[in-house]
Structure 1
């Protein structure tokens, strides 16, 4: 493990960093980006937040959240799972806005980001947030391409010792591979919270309220949680699931087969998730099944 070099302004202006996140939701990696840019010194770093939209119906909530906090944002429209037109768009943006560092978060942005900065003075930094525990053929291909791309980054900064050790074979050396332990921005958690109205009545009635906060995808194994709650020898219980994702329909069908309608709720994406967390007796927060993924500490806070 090596320490990162100190950040120094460029000439008479701060270093200009473009963070590229995922357009599909506001979950672990996206909240990590928001926490990072919030706590970086604006006198030393000028942060931009961008996403690459691969479908027209995506809302890019990380850009919305960043804009609400006063940061500049950019949405690149490039439809398709790995559309090469995004490379040209990003490259033009880097030149037009004098971006000094592109900071990517995920296999798609890693590959596109590294190709976009090729031949420029812009540096490429990647923060991997985990890989699939049982990836399908397509995802396995993308992850293989990602590991190839990471070899050419100026810096790769995993968030856990397990991920750091898993990347050590890439030959990046101490100069380019750095470990920064995953952290949680406690500002929102420490703020005063009132019990969510959705759960107050259940708690008053003595129900055991069990909750999940996170993306509803296969890697999170929310189906296992649903079956486990169903198996609990407790009559007065309620399952509360907060989040969205590709597995939502399948998980709703599973819940319908196991629970009475008044024993569970899918609440979708919620901005008051902290208040909801305060209303549950047991919480499973995005502790997913991805290999080398940093554990989420939000449930402990």
Structure 2
């Protein structure tokens, strides 16, 4: 187990401070929606009321942990637990000892693996467990289906389950023993992080100077994100002015590179990989496209709205929650490349429509989906679970 510490105010621990000590336990791989969600939450929690650690359990000693690296750079205390393979009893012991030594009041988990670790490691410690499920896969393979089923079995043993959307809340409410523990806290975005970036990435600037229109995607390169549909739309007739910037990485990257080549997209599609400066790319997009087959409430769409970039998204529950067709963005039928192309052509033909959608999206996300609002609700939940006078443990 390794630890990193910054900020003197947080380094002193909470004994006698009256603050609630929270361990956010996230994924060790990548810095995508759920991990950025954790960072948005911890940045908005009041430090005079909450002492926050950000942690992860990694499978291999040499692997980097982007979540903890980013949290550390922001001044938060971080801890990395090491597991021998996908899951091991040793990691449970590490987490449990850490909870006891640092008097953790709440472990907040994010995903089936951390849910299981959090529930088992906290037994007998007095530590409360809060789980935030970040969404389900629309067409999982057998292995993933087993993991997601396991997660549903774990939820009744948590002290609170906080889904990000009403649809997820309804789904979880059907599980015996979960209904009374549900706390719907809708997704939020760190508006300050988005607003702080005004630089446009150099490649985006060059494309615009060449007269191109830029469609952008930020996220994982995996099946289920609908990227095949996006490629097909760009390969259609009349789409020659559009270029596509893909910011992110994933196991299907090479497969998508091959597909783009086979469709004749050539230099019109560029894979930029994972980029910490993703928001400087976003600032250069003419539109943000999310063609996913399933989502919770996608933070990437929120970030695009916060940057006043018009959104084109698949007509699925998670996207409909944010995008009102024709008012805060455009929706198209899932996996329908022709309709996606039509939506992009509509924006190209009517710059005033694009501007209006961007402005309406900005007002919608700032009024209803700020990270500060989300943190306020989680703060109240944490305080409900932990008595005002912290018990000796």
TM beyond 0.5: yes
Q: Name 2:259's counterpart in structure 1.
A: 254
Q: Name 1:37's counterpart in structure 2.
A: 42
Q: Residues 290, 52 of structure 1: CA spacing in aligned structure 2 closer, same or farther, 3 A cutoff?
A: farther
Question: Structure 1, residues 231-264: CA drift from partner, whole Å, max 9, x if none?
Answer: 2522233111000111112111211222354221
Say whether the 8 Å CA contact 1:150–1:156 is kept in structure 2: yes
Q: Name 1:236's counterpart in structure 2.
A: 241
Q: Residues 35, 144 of structure 1: CA spacing in aligned structure 2 closer, same or farther, 3 A cutoff?
A: same
Say whether the 8 Å CA contact 1:284–1:299 is kept in structure 2: no
Per the TM alignment, residue 12 of structure 1 is displaced from its structure 2 partner at its CA by 3.2
Q: Establish whether residue 127 from structure 1 lines up as the match of residue 157 from structure 2.
A: no
Q: Name 2:144's counterpart in structure 1.
A: 139
Say whether the 8 Å CA contact 1:54–1:79 is kept in structure 2: yes
Say whether the 8 Å CA contact 1:20–1:109 is kept in structure 2: yes
Q: Report the secondary structure of 2:93's partner residue.
A: helix
Q: Name 1:205's counterpart in structure 2.
A: 210
The CA distance in 2 between the partners of 1:73 and 1:194, in whole Å, is: 29
Q: Establish whether residue 277 from structure 1 lines up as the match of residue 276 from structure 2.
A: no
Say whether the 8 Å CA contact 1:217–1:247 is kept in structure 2: yes
Where in structure 1 are there 5+ consecutive unaligned residues? Answer: 1-8
Q: Report the secondary structure of 1:218's partner residue.
A: coil
Q: Establish whether residue 289 from structure 1 lines up as the match of residue 288 from structure 2.
A: no
Q: Report the secondary structure of 2:157's partner residue.
A: coil
Q: Report the secondary structure of 1:29's partner residue.
A: helix
Q: Residues 289, 87 of structure 1: CA spacing in aligned structure 2 closer, same or farther, 3 A cutoff?
A: farther
Q: Name 1:94's counterpart in structure 2.
A: 99
Q: Residues 115, 58 of structure 1: CA spacing in aligned structure 2 closer, same or farther, 3 A cutoff?
A: same
Q: Report the secondary structure of 1:300's partner residue.
A: helix
The CA distance in 1 between the partners of 2:177 and 2:35, in whole Å, is: 25
The CA distance in 2 between the partners of 1:142 and 1:252, in whole Å, is: 29
Query: Structure 1 stretch 97-106 or stretch 170-179: which is displaced more?
Result: 170-179
Where in structure 2 are there 5+ consecutive unaligned residues? Answer: 1-13, 307-393
The CA distance in 2 between the partners of 1:273 and 1:173, in whole Å, is: 37
Per the TM alignment, residue 121 of structure 1 is displaced from its structure 2 partner at its CA by 0.5
The CA distance in 1 between the partners of 2:294 and 2:85, in whole Å, is: 24
Q: Establish whether residue 112 from structure 1 lines up as the match of residue 93 from structure 2.
A: no
Say whether the 8 Å CA contact 1:48–1:72 is kept in structure 2: yes
Question: Structure 1, residues 206-231: CA drift from partner, whole Å, max 9, x if none?
Answer: 11211110111223222222222222
Query: Structure 1 stretch 258-267 or stretch 243-252: which is displaced more?
Result: 258-267
Say whether the 8 Å CA contact 1:50–1:76 is kept in structure 2: yes
Q: Residues 225, 116 of structure 1: CA spacing in aligned structure 2 closer, same or farther, 3 A cutoff?
A: same
Structure with the greater alpha carbon radius of gyration: 2
Say whether the 8 Å CA contact 1:84–1:112 is kept in structure 2: no
Say whether the 8 Å CA contact 1:124–1:154 is kept in structure 2: yes
Question: Structure 1, residues 104-140: CA drift from partner, whole Å, max 9, x if none?
Answer: 0011111111111112211111000011111111111
Alignment of 1:17-28 (within 5 A): 17-28=22-33
Q: Name 2:312's counterpart in structure 1.
A: none
Q: Establish whether residue 59 from structure 1 lines up as the match of residue 64 from structure 2.
A: yes
The CA distance in 1 between the partners of 2:159 and 2:137, in whole Å, is: 24
Say whether the 8 Å CA contact 1:54–1:83 is kept in structure 2: no
Say whether the 8 Å CA contact 1:18–1:47 is kept in structure 2: yes
